[in-house]
Structures are given as C-alpha cells and as structure tokens.
Amino acid sequence: MSTPRTAIVVGGASGIGWASAKALAADGCRVVVADLNGDGAKARAAELGDPHTAAQVDVTDEASVQRLFDETGDVDVVVSCAGFSNVGLIVDMPVEDFRSVIDVCLTGAFIVAKHAGRHLRDGGVLVSMSSLNGRQPGAGMSAYCAAKAGLSMLTQVAALELGPKGIRVNAIAPGFVHTPLTEAAAMVPGVVEEYVENTAIGRAGQPEDIAEAVVFLCSPKASWLTGEVLDLNGGAHLKRYPDVMGHVMKLAEQS
C-alpha cells in the first residue's frame, strides 16, 4: 500500500477550505486542518477522524506559518484558503482597513507560498484561493480586489520559481460561493440575484464546487498544469460583477 499524501489546508476550518479538507481526505490524503480559529480546526479534524490533525496558524505571522510547516514536515499538497474582505469606498476607508485585507489575502498567501515552497516534496502542489474579484472590480471592494489580483500574479511567479523543484502552483478564482464569508452579502436583497443573472449556468456556487477542482489540481491527473488561475464561477467572468455596494446603499436608504 502506498503512503498517503500529506495535505495542509490553511483556512480549513470553514467554507471552501473545509470542503477542500473533506474532499482531500476522501481522496486519500492525510490532512492537517490549519486555521486562525484553532478550536474550529480541532473540531473539523475530529470530524475527519484519525489520522487527520489540526493546527492553529495565523498567516499574517511568519513565525506561526513556519512552525506549522516545521511541525508537519515534508508535504505533498498545500491549499491556501485564508481570507476575508471588508466593504467601503476608497475615499472613506481607513488605511489600516485596507492593509488588514492585504495582510491576510496577499501577504499571508505569500508567507504560505514561501514555506510551502520550502517544504513541498518533488511532485508537490500548492493551490491558492484567488477570486473572480482578481479580474472583475467591485465598487467598495478595493482591498479585496487588489489583494486577489496580486495573488493571481503571485501564483504565476511562484509557478515559475518552484517548477524546477517539481512543484506545481495554481490558483482557483471562485465566483460567489455560499460560505460564512458571503453570508452577510447574500442577505442583501439583489446581490445573489444579480450574480446569478450574470452567470452562464444560472446559479451561485457551493463550497463543494471548488473542492472538486482542488482535488483535481492536486492530483497526478493535473501533472502538466501549473501557473494557472482557474475561473470557477458558473461563467460569471464572461459578464460583469454585481453592484454589491449599490445594493448595500439601497438597503441602507430603505431602513
């Protein structure tokens, strides 16, 4: 019997990361569920059962990320999912709010890529979670859009640098997926409806839609695929992003 692949899923306690952790475990990986929410990660690892484990990590803190990788040892798969967003017009946004999103979504992804690049075995894979907002702007989402555009480019640079070590680096750019991250936006009337109108397929996403692609990108079936940012959004990249800020303002005017 072959040794199971070791996978670290950063941001694995919730949403897309959790769905990816489950799917990778079902695909035969030994999964380390790593998250800022250490208790959440523990509960998720317990749900997966033996031999899966949990770790607390803060992607904005390099020492914490280094500890995660040092304690795990050599890895085959790293899925980098930590992220969050805020909403606000550029002219109103405190600089620290802008920085906080860049810190997690871009600098945090860089720190994970740095240590993944040091610990992934030959044949290993890094998959990062970019976003449709890396290519489609949304008013009120400057920090998130800028961070995800940066992450898409970071993915391509990392693929060039790590390719000679036999490591593949890809990203997925999901559209609107129902998770705790999007719960508040989904409650604003018009947001999901407008997203769905602007897809080709006619629906928003579920975490499992993304997890299936993670499993494929991490598998030997994708052994020639690197430096790719996969648009996974029901075809929303073919049209335009919903006016989230407009819907929020409309709701505020009504209340």
Ligand X SMILES: NC(=O)c1ccc[n+]([C@@H]2O[C@H](COP(=O)([O-])OP(=O)(O)OC[C@H]3O[C@@H](n4cnc5c(N)ncnc54)[C@H](O)[C@@H]3O)[C@@H](O)[C@H]2O)c1
* Active-site amino acid positions: 144
Shortest distance, position 241 Cβ to ligand X, whole Å: 11
Q: Which residues, numbered 43-102, are part of the site for ligand X (CB under 6 A)? A: 57-60, 81-84
Which one of 5, 76, 108, 145 is in contact with ligand X (CB under 6 A)? Answer: 108
Shortest distance, position 46 Cβ to ligand X, whole Å: 16
CA dihedral in degrees (147, 149, 154, 159; nearest 10)? 140
- Site string (1-30) toward ligand X, x via CB under 6 A: ----------x-xxxxx-------------
Longest Cα–Cα distance of the chain, Å, equals: 63
Shortest distance, position 1 Cβ to ligand X, whole Å: 32
- Which lies closer to ligand X via its Cβ, residue 70 or residue 165? 70
Task: Answer whether 108's CB lies under 8 Å from 130's CB.
Answer: no
Which one of 6, 53, 182, 199 is in contact with ligand X (CB under 6 A)? Answer: 182
CA-based nearest residue to 235, from 175, 178, 172, 185: 175
Q: Is it true that the peptide bond before 51 is cis, omega within 30 degrees of 0?
A: yes
Q: Is 189 exposed, middle or buried (0-12, 13-18, 19+ CB in 10 A)?
A: exposed
Which one of 37, 100, 107, 152 is in contact with ligand X (CB under 6 A)? Answer: 37
Which one of 7, 31, 35, 226 is in contact with ligand X (CB under 6 A)? Answer: 35
Strand ranges (DSSP E) for the chain?
A: 6-10, 30-35, 53-56, 75-80, 120-129, 168-174, 229-232
Q: Which residues, numbered 191-210, are part of the site for ligand X (CB under 6 A)? A: none
Say how many Å lie between the first and final Cα of the chain, rounded. Answer: 62
For 54, residues 6+ apart whose C-beta sits below 8 A from its C-beta are 32, 33, 34, 35, 38, 41, 42, 44, 45, 46
Which one of 149, 159, 171, 177 is in contact with ligand X (CB under 6 A)? Answer: 177
Q: Which residues, numbered 157-176, are part of the site for ligand X (CB under 6 A)? A: 174, 176
Shortest distance, position 57 Cβ to ligand X, whole Å: 5
Task: Answer whether 110's CB lies under 8 Å from 80's CB.
Answer: no
Shortest distance, position 121 Cβ to ligand X, whole Å: 23
Number of residues near ligand X (by CB under 6 A): 28
CA-based nearest residue to 168, from 100, 224, 104: 224
Which one of 102, 153, 181, 225 is in contact with ligand X (CB under 6 A)? Answer: 181
Which one of 136, 155, 179, 226 is in contact with ligand X (CB under 6 A)? Answer: 179
Q: How far is CA 145 from CA 161, 173, 175, 246, in A?
A: 24, 12, 12, 17
Q: Which residues, numbered 123-152, are part of the site for ligand X (CB under 6 A)? A: 129, 131
- Give me the residues that bind ligand X (CB under 6 A), please: 11, 13-17, 35-37, 57-60, 81-84, 104, 108, 129, 131, 174, 176-177, 179-182
